[in-house]
Amino acid sequence: MRKLALSDEILLSVEKPARYIGGEVNMQVKNPEEMDIRFCMCFPDVYEIGMSHLGIQILYDILNRRDDTYCERVYSPWVDLDKIMREKKIPLFALESQDPVKDFDFLGITLQYEMCYTNVLQILELSQIPLYAKDRTEEHPFVIGGGPCTYNPEPIADFFDFFYIGEGETAYNEILDVYKECKKQGKSRIEILEQIAHIEGMYVPAFYDVNYNEDGTVASIVKNNPNAPDKVKKQAEMNLSEAYYPTKPLVPFIKAVQDRVVLEIQRGCIRGCRFCQAGMIYRPTRERELEYLKKCAYEMLDSTGHEEISLSSLSSSDYSHLQELVYFLIEEFGSKGVNISLPSLRIDSFSLDVMSKVQDIRKSSLTFAPEAGSQRLRDVINKGLTEEDILGGAGKAFQSGWNRVKLYFMMGLPTETEEDIEGIAILSDKIARKYYEIPKDQRNGKVNITASTSFFVPKPFTPFQWSRMDTSEEYLAKQKHLRNKINEQLNRKSIKYNWHEADLSELEGVFARGDRRISKVIYDAYQAGCLYDSWSEFFDFDRWLKAFENNGIDYRFYTCRERDEEELFPWDFIDVGVTKKFLLREYRNAKAEKVTLNCRQTCTGCGAKSFGGGVCFMDQTSLEGVTNESTN
């Protein structure tokens, strides 16, 4: 029988002990004694969230296909167990073998959102691994960072031995081969890192020095080790239909956020919304083949027993074979008690037909993400959704019986004015009016509109990486303004307004575009008790403010500052394919309120074509004759 790292007494004293026992369906069982390499994958948040992440499942599958490697998992212990582990000095353990993480060769941490940074330190400390990479010795695992936050790894660079920039499918096998060979030759920690630095996509922070100008901006990023590349090239898996896909994903015992089969239909997005980092860093857009997806759906439903399947992508409506795929899923699995969970789709006759087949109209809602309240601002952010689209789509849906609408907006977008904000209220009201155009006896009670605003956080590798971010005071004033405007609308009683916290977004803004000087702040805030910052019940902004103050850092230097077009950014040593030149051109187009066509309409020369595949090489002749002003 499997042994457990924690005693019965501890497990019965904490909330949801199933978070810590492993043993789930499709868990890999190997004999650690027979392994050359032990790899622990970590999602630095609570189990139910971490287990819902597709990326780890993919890597878990890839690494465990190797006979010489045992890949296991670890998640952040919840605060109750955290306390006990510190008191009793219990080392953090991997779920599979229940062995201490500190005895592994690698600890790979996925960085999906900035607010997990203190949880990274918790993982390291509970594992009894030195927090700073420079303090680690031959006996410690190599700590790797991966995921979207590594596109600016600088605020946490000091805590990692190296970062894997890009998609995990391409280089992990090479890393492990290199490591194994180095171990055989008895190479030292630093020698191994030098070898790893030769692998494309790997960034070893210790091999670079950052110099700053007097005004606080970055002056230069200089490598201090000849083995390091000048530029680190993002990794992209170009053949997604032959790539690894975890057809036997883990099935947790307790309900995870994603309690279903997740089918990734494509990677990347053709749209080019200017606020969206994913839309830039995952270029070029690559589709998985229909037949491959059908096969995966069968196998995954079979191996997991899940009763629901959902499609994953940045913009599912743009997937070429969406209709065929969705109708296939409904016909093939709908009768077998499998729910088809639809991603947010463009509202048209197809999506309305599908929605009426798989959802209860009375309970489900329509979702639109106009992101901005006016057409002017939607042009600025290049969000190609018009008021006509929204009202037309909503109107059709209302005719078919829907009466709930969810609207997502961002506040604090570059060039935003009071009129743009008011536009959110007006648009919400127009949708309600559209509903009440239906004769009373034909409609389904009252309409229910929920408008949510989040605060815009400029991200690296987007056209808005130069932009100034609002202060929390400005955000709150805008939010209040919108509240008042909504109250002035005719259908105010049908409109519900939700908003996000401003402090959290501001801190996210610092981490998103911060540099190496931020790491000490993160360290201090963690030592002062900050943890689970993405959980509003634990987020303590005052502690963070204190940590900035103690380090003499004005955090608004990172957020409320419009960057010079020439400024060197902390993340500029990374080559994501999309060029800085393109991003700047897009930034200027934004300010000129000029829309840019999507990748299917025309190639705008963003630079992602250098990866040699995907949408960049697909037929665009059907749209011949469409000229694109923005490329000029």
Partner 1 sequence: MKVRIKFQKYGAMKFIGHLDVLRYFQKAFRRAGFESEYTKGFNPHQIMSFAAPLGLGITSDGEYMDAELVTSDEPEVMIDRLNAVMTEGFHITGFNILKDREENQKAVTAMSLVNSADYIVSLKDGYTISDSIQSKEDFEKAFRLFIAQQKIEIVKKTKKSENVVDIRPMIFLVEFDEKEYHDKLSEILKNPLQKTFDNHGSVAEVYDNGILVYLQVDTGSVANLKPELVMEAFYNYIEVPFNKFAWQVHRLEIYTRDAEDGKLISLDQLER
Question: Measured from the CB of residue 26, what is the shortest distance to partner 1 in angstroms?
Answer: 9
Handedness of CA 562, 235, 172, 206 (dihedral sign): negative
Nearer to partner 1, 176 or 261 (CB): 261
What does the buried/exposed string (b/e) look like for 146-176 if buried means 16 or more CB atoms within 10 Å of the residue's CB? bbbbbbbbbbbbbbbbbbbbbbbbbbbeebb
> Is residue 18 at the binding interface for partner 1, with CB under 8 A as the rule?
yes
Q: Which residue number, 301 or 345, has a Cβ lying nearer to partner 1?
A: 301
CB closer to partner 1, 359 vs 444: 359
From CA 356, how far away is CA 632, in angstroms rounded? 44
Span interacting with partner 1, options 37-45, 103-111, 297-305, 572-580, rule CB under 8 A: 297-305
Site string for partner 1, 332-351 (x = CB under 8 A): -----x-x------------
The single residue among 2, 65, 88, 295 that binds partner 1, judged by CB under 8 A, is 2
Query: Binding partner 1 by CB under 8 A: which of 186, 305, 439, 552?
Result: 305
Q: How far is the CB of 249 from partner 1 (least distance, A)?
A: 12
Q: Residue 61 or residue 194: which is nearer to partner 1 going by CB? A: 61
CB-based burial label for 249 (10 Å; 0-12, 13-18, 19+): buried
Q: Which is nearer to partner 1, 210 or 250 (CB)?
A: 250
31 binds partner 1 (CB under 8 A): no
Confirm or reject binding of residue 304 to partner 1 (CB under 8 A). yes
DSSP 516-549: TTHHHHHHHHHHTT---TTSTTT--HHHHHHHHH
The closest alpha carbon to 110, from 52, 64, 68, belongs to 52
Rounded least distance, CB 298 to partner 1, Å: 12
Query: What are the CA-CA distances from residue 619 to residues 282, 323, 571, 600 (Å)?
Result: 20, 20, 33, 8
Shortest spacing between CB 362 and partner 1, in angstroms: 9
Query: Nearest distance from residue 6's CB to partner 1, in Å?
Result: 10
Joined tokens for residue 193: 């890192």
Contacting range for partner 1; rule: CB under 8 A; set: 12-20, 33-41, 101-109, 314-322 = 12-20
DSSP 35-95: -SEEEEEEESS-HHHHTT-HHHHHHHHHHHTSTTEEEEEEEPPPHHHHHHHHHHTPPPB-T
Q: Is 255 one of the binding residues for partner 1 (CB under 8 A)?
A: yes
Helix (H, G, I), strand (E, B) or coil at 468: coil
Residue 448 has phi, psi (to 5 degrees) of -130, 105
DSSP string, 381-434: TT----HHHHHHHHHHHHHTT--EEEEEEEES-TT--HHHHHHHHHHHHHHHHH
* Cα 609 to Cα 144: distance, rounded to the nearest angstrom: 28
537 binds partner 1 (CB under 8 A): no
Min separation Cβ 29 and partner 1, Å = 9
**Is the CB of 92 or the CB of 176 nearer to partner 1?**
92
Contact 458, 469 (CB under 8 A): yes
Nearer to partner 1, 236 or 366 (CB): 366
Helix (H, G, I), strand (E, B), or coil: what is residue 98? coil
Asked if 218 contacts 211 with a C-beta cutoff of 8 angstroms, the reply is yes
- Binding test (CB under 8 A) with partner 1, winner from 113, 244, 253, 541: 253
Distance CA 259, CA 52 (A): 7
Site track for partner 1 across 223-252, x = CB under 8 A = ----------------------------x-
| Candidate list 289, 307, 353, 387; residue touching partner 1; CB under 8 A | 307
- Nearest distance in Å: CB 339, partner 1: 8
Does position 1 interact with partner 1 (CB under 8 A)? The reply is yes
Least Å distance, CB 326 to partner 1, is 18
Residue type for 87, please? E
> Which CB atom, from 238 or from 251, has the smaller least distance to partner 1?
251
* Rounded-to-integer distance, Cα 174 and Cα 179, Å: 8
Residues 165-224 that bind partner 1 (CB under 8 A): none
Residue 89 as a binder of partner 1 (CB under 8 A): the answer is no
Q: Which of 219, 254, 257, 626 binds partner 1 (CB under 8 A)?
A: 254
With beta carbons less than 8 A apart as the criterion, state whether 76 and 182 touch: no
Nearer to partner 1, 339 or 628 (CB): 339
Instruction: Select 6 or 345, whichever has its Cβ closest to partner 1.
Output: 6
By CB under 8 A, tell whether 306 contacts partner 1: yes
Count of positions on this chain that bind partner 1 (CB under 8 A): 32
Site for partner 1 in 353-392 (CB under 8 A): 359-360, 363
Give the Cα separation of 104 and 6 in Å (integer): 19
- Contact in structure between 547 and 521 (CB atoms under 8 Å): yes
Kindly tell me which of 8 and 214 has the beta carbon lying closer to partner 1.
Answer: 8
To partner 1, the closest distance from the beta carbon of 115 in angstroms equals 28
Residue (of 21, 47, 17, 533) closest to 259 by Cα position:
47
Q: For residue 50, give the nearest of 103, 100, 119 by alpha carbon.
A: 119
DSSP output for 303-344: HH--SEEEEE-S-GGG-TTHHHHHHHHHHHHGGGT-EEEPPP
Contacts of 522 (CB under 8 A, 6+ apart): 117, 118, 121, 155, 156, 511, 547
Q: 350: burial class by Cβ within 10 Å (0-12, 13-18, 19+)? A: middle
Query: At closest approach, how far in Å is the CB of 187 from partner 1?
Result: 39
Single out the residue of 28, 128, 173, 303 in contact with partner 1 (rule: CB under 8 A). 303
Considering only residues 431 through 470, tell me which ones interact with partner 1, judged by CB under 8 A: none
Q: Measuring CA to CA, how many Å separate 193 from each of 4, 144, 206, 428?
A: 33, 11, 10, 54
Measured from the CB atom, the residue of 7 and 550 that comes closer to partner 1 is: 7
Q: Which residues pair with 487 in a beta bridge?
A: none
Which among 245, 280, 275, 239 has a CA at the least distance from the CA of 262? 245
87 binds partner 1 (CB under 8 A): no
- Counting every residue written for the chain, the total comes to 632
Give, as ranges, the residues between 108 and 137 that touch partner 1 (CB under 8 A): none
Determine which residue in the list 15, 23, 65, 242 makes contact with partner 1, applying CB under 8 A: 23
Q: Segment contacting partner 1 (CB under 8 A): 32-40, 155-163, 296-304, 478-486?
A: 296-304
541 binds partner 1 (CB under 8 A): no
Of 363 and 440, CB closest to partner 1: 363
- Cβ distance to partner 1 smaller for residue 246 or 614: 246
Applying CB under 8 A, which residues contact partner 1? Answer: 1-2, 4, 8-9, 11-13, 17-18, 21-25, 27, 251, 253-255, 301-307, 337, 339, 359-360, 363
